[in-house]
Chains A and B, each alone.
Chain A
Amino acid sequence: EPEVTQTPSHQVTQMGQEVILRCVPISNHLYFYWYRQILGQKVEFLVSFYNNEISEKSEIFDDQFSVERPDGSNFTLKIRSTKLEDSAMYFCASSERAGVAFFGQGTRLTVV
C-alpha cells in the first residue's frame, strides 16, 4: 500500500541551526501539506502546496519556514534558525483531492 515517507524519524538540533525535514509523498497525489503537533497538543496546519506553489499557509509559517519540491518526488520543510519552541512532531501529508490527507509517520524535532 502506498505511503508517505518522512526522514529522519528524529532530529536533534541546536538552537539557531537550520534543519531540513524531508518527505516523499504518495506518487499520484497532487496536494502536499506540513502539519506539526507539539507534545500533548493538537495537530496544527503549517502549509499546503499545490501545482508547485504554496496554496495556503498559517500564521505559524512565517519567514523562518520554507517549503520546496526540488525534484518532483521529494517535498521538504526548511526551518531556519530554530528555536526551542519549534520542538514538535512534524507531519507531512499528501492527498489526491483537497483535504483527504494521508500522513507520514512524522519527524520528531528536538531543539536544544
Chain B
Amino acid sequence: QKEVEQNSGPLSVPEGAIASLNCTYSDRGSQSFFWYRQYSGKSPELIMFIYSNGDKEDGRFTAQLNKASQYVSLLIRDSQPSDSATYLCAVNRETNAGKSTFGDGTTLTVKP
C-alpha cells in the first residue's frame, strides 16, 4: 500500500465547474496535510495546508480533512484553464521535523 495515494487521473472538467481531487494516506500518525500545484517542468507551489478535521477555505480552494477515514481532498470551484496542472498531496508527521511524503499527483485539465 502506498503511503500517500491519489487518483492518477487525468481529471478533466469544463471551465467554471468544480474539480474534486482526492488523497488517502496510510500513516494514522500523520498530523499535517498539504496540497501543492505543479505545472509541467516547474517546482511544486504550495496551495493550502490543513491540520484539523473539517473544511478550510481559501478563495476558490477548499481543503477537506477526515482523519478517521485517513482522507484529504481539495475542491477547486469555478475552475479556470490556468488551474490545469498536476496537484500533489503531501503528508507530514510533525515529529519528523517537516519531512513530507508526496503522492504521485493527479493531473487536472480544465477545458475552456
Contact = CB atoms under 8 A, between A and B. Distances in A.
A109 to B, nearest CB: 14
Contacts, number: 74
B101 A105 contact: no
Nearest to B2: A42
B100 A101 contact: yes
A55 B44 contact: no
Interface stretch (B12-20, B55-63, B70-78, B91-99): B91-99
Interface of A: 31, 33, 35, 41-45, 48, 50, 55-56, 58, 89, 91, 95, 97-106
Contact of A103 (B44, B98, B103): B44
Contacts of B103: 42
A56 B42 contact: no
Given A42-B105, A43-B88, A99-B49, A91 B98 contact: no
Interface residues of B, number: 23
A48 B97 contact: yes
Contacts of B102: 42-45
Q: A100, A101, A102 — which one has the most chain B CB atoms within 10 A of its CB? A: A101
A31 B43 contact: no
Nearest to A40: B104
Q: B45, B97, B101 — which one has the most chain A CB atoms within 10 A of its CB? A: B97
A31 B97 contact: yes
Contacts of A44: 102
Given A42-B103, A42-B104, A42-B105, A99 B98 contact: yes
B44 A91 contact: yes
